[in-house]
Structures are given as C-alpha cells and as structure tokens.
Structure 1
Amino acid sequence: MKYKTKRVHFELKDFDQETGIFTGYAAVFSNVDAGGDLIQPGAFTKTLKNNKDRIKICWQHDPYSPIGKPLEMREDKKGLFVKGQISDTSLGKDVKILMKDGVINELSIGYDTVKKEWKDGVRHLKELKLYEFSPVTWAMNDEALITSVKANDDIKEVLTKTIELLDRFLEKTEVKEQDEVGKMLESVERLGKAVEQRIEDSKGQKI
C-alpha cells in the first residue's frame, strides 16, 4: 500500500464528541503534487463501487489505529469528496481536539495503484484501490479542502472584526447616514452577545 498526502483546511461546525463528523476532499484531480503524481478523474470509481465497505479512517495511516468510518465518499469535478465520522474512543477524542485546535489540518489517502501512465515526467494515476484516508501531520498537496462551516469561536471573531469596522465607518460617515450605521452596529453587537452566550452554554458539550 502507498500513501498520497493531500493538504486540507479544517473549518468545523458541530464537530463535537457525540458526532465527530467532518466533510471535505481527501484527494483532488488534475493537480501535480510534490511527489510528481497526478490523480485523474475516475481513478476512484471502481474502488468506491467494489471496495467501499472496507474503507476506513485511520490515524496517521496506522492500520492498528482506526479512528472512524466514512459516511459518504464520491467523486465530483474537484476530486474525492468525503464525509467522515471520528469515533468517540480515547484516541478519537484526542484527534478531534487536535483538529479543532488546528494542529492537525491535513488528510492523506492509503491506496494501491492499479493503472498508471507516465507523461512528460508526471505519473498519471488512472485507477486506484483505496484502503483508507487519515488525518496526518504533513501533506504534499495544497488544494484539497475540508469544507464544513467554522465553529462558534470563529463566528465570534468575525463578529468582533465586523463591529470594529462599523465603529471606524461610523466615525467617518455623513451625519444623515449615522443612524443607519448605528442600527447595523447595534444589531451586530446583539448577535455577538448571543454567540457568546451560545459558546458559554455549549462548554463541556462541544470541542
């Protein structure tokens, strides 16, 4: 089995100890990675049809450290889209904390090459047998993205920056427009307080 690492960026929503669910791309098509390989569209078609039930989520490619299962795997125009669920084991909990903190933010696939073709020094991977995909420390490719929505703390940061921008805009705007800007500012501030309350209420429930 070989490993093909793909960089991902985790944006987490409702990624808690009960669900452990994330979505994104474990591989992208038509992009030459640091190893000189290019995965062609359709490379996963056969393995997803014939081998889907045996594909696992592992920790750092260790077959003795499975941490979850795929809920959905499919090819689209971009690449291999995956939806996975990390199990609530002691290792799974550690992985979820690392993902939430941004320490682990990359994915990698474990596979066998079934069909390949060399063109201009690039190995075109035409068919792969997929065994697993893993959260890993480092990856080769910078185009595969995790696409779930950011956590409450990130929303809070966005709202804080919005309030700062509205404050600066309020100082420079015309008098006749200040009332409208002021109303916008009050609305954002109320929303910020609601988010803070939600974060406080969810402590101990979500990671």
Structure 2
Amino acid sequence: MEEKIKSLQYKTKANDVDEKGIVTVAVNGIGVKDSQNDISMPGSFNKTLKENIGRMRWFLNHRTDQLLGVPLSGKETEGNLVMVGQLNLEKQIGRDTLADYKLFAENGRTLEHSIGVKAIKRDSVDPCKVLEWRMMEYSTLTSWGSNPQTFLVNIKSATADQVKEAVDFVRKALLQHGYSDERLKGYDMELSLLLKSLNGGAVVSCPHCGHQFDYDAETEHTFAQQVLDYAADYQRWITQDIVREEMEKLTPEIRTQVISLIDSVKSEKKEFTQKGLQDLMNYVRCPHCWGKVYRSNAILQNTSEDTTGKNEPSVDTQE
C-alpha cells in the first residue's frame, strides 16, 4: 500500500523564542500513538533530519503560501522531536508570529505544532510502528489563517470561568505591540464572540470546520413535522427490511429532506427517537463551509457539568 503524506499534531511540551526570532519547539511524539494509530519509534526521524533539513519548510497552519521562516536544525531527544527555526522578521507574518509566541509564553501557554510526514519504513511485525519517516515541513498552529475566529482557545466544553479567562487573554493580546491590523481585527472578533457567549448568546462552533459564529445571525432552517415522522420510522423500516420500499413512496422533495435528517442523526450520533430528532429539527448553515450547525453546538456548555481537564489544548496525543 502506498503511503500518503499526513499531518501529525502532537502535544507541544515546550517552546522557546528569543528577540531575534530563533524558535525552539519540543513536541511529545516519540513512542506515542497518534490519532491515525501510528507510533513514531525512537530514531524514526534521525535520517530525515540529517538528509532533508535543507529542503524542509516552516509554515503557518500548513499553508504553503504562509512561510514563517527557515528550519535550522532538528533532533530527537528524551522522547521529543526538537526543531529549531529562524522566523523571517522582515515579513509582517513573522513579526506577528513572534508576538504570538511571546504572548503565549507570558501567560504560561504554548502554541501547538504539527508536522507533515510520510512513512518510509514500518515494523514488519507491527505495522503501526513507524521505523523511518520522511519529514517535509512543520507548522505553527494558530488557526487564524483558515479561520480567524478559533485562533486562541477551544472552549467547546468551557465553563463561564474558563471563558472569562479566555477574554482576559484576548484583552492582553490587544495590548501587545507589533501586531498587524489584520491580526488585531481577528483578536477583536474573537473577543466579541467570547463576550457574547459569556452573556448567554448562541455562539456555536461548526462541527465540520471549527468555525465559530453567532447562531442567531444566520438564517435558521426547519424540517417539517412530516419529515420528522418519517425519519422516526427509519429504525423500524430497517428492522422490517423495508427501507427501499418506504423511501420510494415519498415524493422526491420529502425523500431528500428525510435522508438529510437521517444523515444528520448519524453524524451527530443521536438516537432515532422523537427527542433525538427534535434536537436536529432546526439548523443554520455555517458561513465558512456551509455545513449544518445546530443550537446544541454552542461553545459554552452547562457550567454545572464537570469540566476538569477539558480546557486542555486540542491534541491528538497525550503522554
């Protein structure tokens, strides 16, 4: 089977930056199973770091049109992949990224990072174990390149206190010097959404692309009761093995809506009950990717729920 190029996001253990824009990043990736069930074995990066460092690139959010700087060196040490790079401070994107690293460091946080790799050699007994990678690039992840409204925190399960903390963090960002007008505009948009969410506004996160927006600012669509009733019968149709016959009885317009609602139930992992279907009766379209978004996709959840440990950075691997 031909190996494909993939992006691996690991938990960033530490990063260090100086005023000249030299950034050292240590990600926890050696010996850890990633989201695609691959395990980077010790030494799996040694060859590519030696032979390919001169051709590697350093991007923002894996966007090849947003080159941050140049990778200087890389090595494996103590279970970590350590990369050292020089930001291009002649470009605004480089100065903005330097300000981001400093801002996160001042608040005891780290930006996340991801690497673009292709498996070259796998263990013959356990193919999940990658013995050799080819590394093409690594990226600093901020998310504002593709979605300017999700670049600071993932507050999908946040409490009110956690949102307040995020608001304070954004306010500090607004006080930083050296940001471009575009970046400051992005921070201002994030702050507005956080405050609206904190005050009970229906700020939602698209489950398809992560875009955050005001639910009530978009046109809401509603399935007809007839569509709900047919969708509720879907499970019975499967049991009786009559799905095809029943679907063919429906008019093309109703059938399309029933199938759409059924697909939504499956993708949202709801049950084919009246309550489960009712939760999906109303939806809006994400202005970024046009996917369906429901009011239940609100970024601020019930504060009575236990959220211990849920405001960690979104990562594919943990120690």
Q: TM-score, normalised by structure 2?
A: 0.39
- What's the secondary structure of 1:96's corresponding residue? helix
**1:12-49 deviation line (CA, Å, top 9, x unaligned):** 45x32xx1112132452111233322100111122122
1:86 corresponding residue in structure 2: 87
The 5 A counterparts of 1:1-207 are 1-10=5-14, 12=16, 15-16=18-19, 19-88=20-89, 89-102=91-104, 105-117=111-123, 123-137=128-142, 138-143=314-319
Instruction: Structure 1 unaligned segments of length 5 or more: list them.
Output: 144-207
Are the equivalent residues in 2 in contact too, given 1:26–1:133 (CA < 8 A)? no
Structure 1 runs, 4 residues or longer, greater than 3 Å off: 9-13, 117-120
Output the aligned Cα RMSD: 2.4
Is the CA contact 1:104–1:135 (under 8 Å) kept in the aligned structure 2?
Answer: no
After superposition, what is the alpha-carbon deviation per residue over 1:125-167, rounded to whole angstroms, capped at 9, x for unaligned? 2111111111114532345xxxxxxxxxxxxxxxxxxxxxxxx
**Distance in 2 (alpha carbons) for counterparts of 1:46 and 1:9:** 23
Separation (CA, whole Å) in 2 of partners of 1:79 and 1:45: 12
Paired amino acid for 1:25: A
Offset from partner CA, 1:50-96 (integer Å, 9 cap, x none): 21210121111112211011222112242322112211111111112
Q: Is the CA contact 2:121–2:131 (under 8 Å) kept in the aligned structure 1?
A: yes
Instruction: Give the match's secondary structure for 1:48.
Output: helix
Cα deviation for residue 11 of structure 1 reads 5.1
For structure 2, list consecutive stretches of 5 or more residues without a partner in the other structure. Answer: 143-313
CA contact (8 A) 1:45 1:75 kept: yes
What is the CA–CA distance in structure 2 between the aligned matches of 1:2 and 1:97, rounded to whole Å?
29
Amino acid at match of 2:71: P
Q: Answer yes or no: is the 8 Å Cα contact 1:6–1:107 preserved in 2.
A: yes
Q: One-letter code of the match for 1:82?
A: M
Letter in 1 for 2:23: F
Secondary structure in structure 2 of the residue aligned to 1:8: strand
Note if contact 1:26-1:109 (Cα within 8 Å) is conserved in structure 2: no
TM-score (norm 1): 0.58
Q: Which structure would you say has the larger RCO, counting Cα contacts within 8 Å and 6 or more residues apart?
A: 1
Q: In structure 2, what residue type is equivalent to 1:139?
A: V
SS in 1 for 2:36: coil
Query: 2:42 is paired with a residue of what secondary structure?
Result: coil
**Counterpart-to-counterpart distance in 1, 2:49 and 2:88:** 22
Mark the CA change 1:21 to 1:81 in structure 2 (over 3 Å): closer, same or farther.
Answer: same
Q: In the comparison of the two structures, how many residue pairs are matched?
A: 139
SS of residue paired to 1:100? helix
Conservation of the 8 A alpha-carbon contact between 1:108 and 1:139: no
Q: Distance in 2 between matches of 1:11 and 1:61?
A: 18
In 2, the alpha carbon distance for the partners of 1:47 and 1:12 equals 23
Amino acid corresponding to residue 51 of structure 1 in structure 2: N
